[in-house]
Amino acid sequence: MATSTVEPSTYIAPPPAEETYYEAHEPTILGGGFILAVFAVWELYPAIFGLSKGMKLFFATPSDIIAALYSLLILNEKLPMVGTIWQHFNASTGTFLFGLGLSIIVALPLGVVLGRSQTVDAMFDPFITAFNATPRLVFLPIVLIWFGVGFWTVIAIVFLGAVFPLLINTYAGVKNADKLLINVVRSFGANEWQINKLVVLPNSLPFIIAGLRLAIGRAILGVVVAEFFGGTEFGLGVIMVQASQSYRVDILFAVLIIFMVVSLLITAAVKQIENRLSRWRPAKIKTF
């Protein structure tokens, strides 16, 4: 009887199919390729199809934008408006850091208080809900009246944008602190301050960092919008308004790309910090 059985010991599994370079890098290739394709169409469209006279005014090809970025960032040429791009960049960075710093100083202590006291929490809740739901931009006109045109108005808008995500996340983190762990450290004789230091803060740190990530996004948004309307002399938002009014679409997009890159870089950096700080957590809940 000739049966074609394969003895277990002689059976050799076929080697796993070699993964091609494409298969290994499919997401990168497709993602990068799509972005390149978009740029290519954008670049070539006017050359192939031509643009109406009106549209020409509003159009800048990627090469125009890169040229603008090069001359502004690398050659540090003067803008057609006022100053150099770096002066505006520094002004915006200053506003961003100041406003964000202020919101951290306010949000962290307040968040801890709200998280630890049910009564204070219940009383603040409607206000936080209302302010968090409303775009803070709505307060711009009143902020302008109170703080006057210029620096402090911009700071106030950035602050209002960033403070709520931080506050809400700090609060959630504190509230989420494990009762058992609080009892554990109490049983070892910890006082209220030590309970906060040993349990409440470490426990809420991942929440706070996640809040920080949100707050940074909101703060950048705040810088842009506040500089649109805030009446400061320097700032990237100021440049954008002026560039669009003088039909310098290349400069407008150049600044937009600067914002984009900065946002992505900061977000990635915070994400990095988040991962470092959550080494103690099992991997599956690391991303918040």
Contact between residue 207 and residue 274 where contact means Cβ atoms under 8 Å apart: no
Q: Which is nearer to other proteins, 105 or 142 (CB)?
A: 142
**Torsion angles phi and psi, residue 58, rounded to 5:** -100, 10
Q: Least distance (Å) from other proteins to the CB of residue 11? A: 30
Three-state DSSP at 286 gives: coil
Q: Least distance (Å) from other proteins to the CB of residue 16? A: 21
> Would you state the structure tokens that stand for residue 284, as one six-digit string?
């599956």
Q: Which is nearer to other proteins, 58 or 70 (CB)?
A: 58
Q: Which is nearer to other proteins, 14 or 176 (CB)?
A: 176
Contacts of 243 (CB under 8 A, 6+ apart): 81, 249, 251, 252, 255
Contact between residue 198 and residue 125 where contact means Cβ atoms under 8 Å apart: no
Q: Which is nearer to other proteins, 16 or 27 (CB)?
A: 27
CA distance 201 to 188: 18
For residue 277, give the nearest of 218, 204, 215, 219 by alpha carbon. Answer: 204
Q: Least distance (Å) from other proteins to the CB of residue 36? A: 10
Q: Which is nearer to other proteins, 82 or 260 (CB)?
A: 260
Q: Least distance (Å) from other proteins to the CB of residue 12? A: 32
Q: Least distance (Å) from other proteins to the CB of residue 267? A: 6
Q: Which is nearer to other proteins, 33 or 109 (CB)?
A: 33
Contact between residue 202 and residue 169 where contact means Cβ atoms under 8 Å apart: no
CA distance 220 to 261: 12
Q: Least distance (Å) from other proteins to the CB of residue 106? A: 18
Q: How many helices (H) and strands (E) does the chain have?
A: 13, 0
Q: Which is nearer to other proteins, 98 or 228 (CB)?
A: 228
Q: Least distance (Å) from other proteins to the CB of residue 181? A: 6
Max Cα distance, the chain (Å): 100
CA distance 118 to 124: 10
